[in-house]
Amino acid sequence: MAAAIACVISPAVAIADEGGTSFWAPGTFASFSAIPQQPPGWALSITDYYVSTSAGADVATARAIRAGRITADVKLDDASRYTDRHDMLNVAPSYAFATPVFGGQFSLGVTLAAGTDTVQLDQVFTGSLGRIGINRRVSETDVLTGVGDVAPLVQLRWSSGVHNWTTYATGNIPVGAYDVHNLATVGVGHGAIDGGGGYTYYDEKKGLEFSAVTGLTYNFMNLSTSYQTGVDWHLDWAISQAVSKDIYVGIVGYIYNQISPDSGPGDHVGAFESRVMGAGPQINYTVTNGPLQTAFNLKGYYEFDAAHRPSGWNTWLTVSFSPADADADKPKPKVTK
């Protein structure tokens, strides 16, 4: 089970930071994140990542400025709204090496993404001309389908009884579909480096598991907009309980917080430091068929306490394939004195 769930942690690509969202997709890590893959070898996860969010005038103004819909000296009325729905398919192959590195299991992976982003922007302008009040509403919908950016992943995992630790490094290679004049984006539009570490407690006899992974994201400047997002801090956590040999259920959550302000010549909205929290249920079902282990994982998050960032809900439906432990179902030899 741990081998299959380890594949769930591959990063998903989100949309551009200056609009209030991040390269790092909160919820990327979940249960069994720090447990080494057993047996080592190739693994593959395929994730349908669906997001439905909305935001107020602050995000709507930032997006409108970035896409050239309004000039930098215009601020939209509080009735303005920004909504975003994107559906991304993330394919993440990985390989865990049998030879230890620094006493731990070393693995390499990469996430390739493609999907559709749909953005609706309702711009509301109010003012007056003498004694005459002026109210104007402009609604626009933008849809973009294409290939996303590439996100490599390097990870080390250690295990000692019920305690497991991990450290990782990932990043964003901005090669996906991105147009500064579009409201909708599939690629991020800038490079990023992210790294951190985590811990998993797993008592196999009780079927109880707890995982927490934290990290920091450094965002490079978006050369198309001359905008550089500040440093992001994130914490993903999960608690699960096995209810049978093949099924576990639990809850997942995350905290995301930008800890330094945005900057650059293209920054026309100020610090724009964003934050959000999320939590929700998860369920996993694992099937072993000969040498192949397949896991089906569904988790969902409802977001709250958001600032300068669209919020709503998101779901992750993941199918993971990994080698099965050939000795798992063999009878244990009897110990005699």
Report pLDDT for 54: 94
Report pLDDT for 133: 59
**Measuring CA to CA, which residue among 124, 164, 151 is closest to residue 217?**
151
Q: CATH no. for residue 154?
A: 2.40.128
Instruction: List CB contacts of 132: < 8 A, sequence separation 6 or more.
Output: none
Q: Is 309 left (phi over 0), alpha (psi -120 to 50) or beta?
A: beta
Q: Domain for residue 74, yes or no? A: yes
Report pLDDT for 17: 44
Q: Domain for residue 273, yes or no? A: yes
Is residue 311 a contact partner of residue 304, using CB atoms and an 8 Å limit?
yes
Asked if the model's pLDDT at residue 19 lies above 60, the reply is no
Tokens 């047996």, located at residue: 39
Lowest mean pLDDT, pick from 150-154, 224-228, 233-237, 253-257: 224-228
Distances (CA, A) of 297 to 4, 71, 300: 10, 45, 10
pLDDT tens for each residue of 263-278: 888 877 766 788 999 9
**Measuring CA to CA, which residue among 227, 287, 286, 282 is closest to residue 249?**
282
The total number of structural domains that make up the chain: 1
Instruction: List CB contacts of 201: < 8 A, sequence separation 6 or more.
Output: 162, 163, 164, 208, 209, 210, 211
pLDDT tens for each residue of 56-82: 988 888 888 888 888 887 888 888 999
pLDDT tens for each residue of 125-134: 876 555 665 6
Asked if the model's pLDDT at residue 15 lies above 50, the reply is no
Report pLDDT for 4: 41
Q: Domain for residue 143, yes or no? A: yes
Q: Please report how many Cα atoms fall inside a 13 Å half-sphere around the Cα of residue 181, on the Cβ side.
A: 0
Mean of the pLDDT values across residues 43-64?
Answer: 92
Q: Domain for residue 89, yes or no? A: yes
**Measuring CA to CA, which residue among 276, 304, 334 is closest to residue 24?**
276
281: preceding bond cis by omega (within 30 degrees)? no
CA-to-CA distance for 320 and 160, rounded, in angstroms? Answer: 25
Q: Domain for residue 8, yes or no? A: yes
Which position has the higher pLDDT, 13 or 94?
94
Q: Name the average pLDDT for the chain.
A: 88
Report pLDDT for 334: 46
Is residue 118 a contact partner of residue 75, using CB atoms and an 8 Å limit?
no
Lowest mean pLDDT, pick from 15-19, 48-52, 118-122, 314-318: 15-19
Report pLDDT for 129: 53
Report pLDDT for 272: 76
Q: Domain for residue 304, yes or no? A: yes
Q: Domain for residue 270, yes or no? A: yes
Q: Domain for residue 334, yes or no? A: no
Asked if the model's pLDDT at residue 103 lies above 70, the reply is yes
Asked if the model's pLDDT at residue 221 lies above 80, the reply is yes
Report pLDDT for 73: 77
- Chain-centroid distance of CA 117 in Å reads 15
State which residues form the domain around 140. Answer: 2-323
Mean of the pLDDT values across residues 310-315?
Answer: 95
Predicted model pTM: 0.87
DSSP string, 181-241: T-S--SS-SS-EEEEEEEEEEEETTTTEEEEEEEEEEEEPPBTTTTBB---EEEEEEEEEE
Q: Which tokens go with 65?
A: 């400025």
pLDDT tens for each residue of 278-291: 999 999 999 999 99
Report pLDDT for 89: 97
Report pLDDT for 329: 53
pLDDT tens for each residue of 135-169: 778 899 999 999 999 999 999 999 999 999 999 99
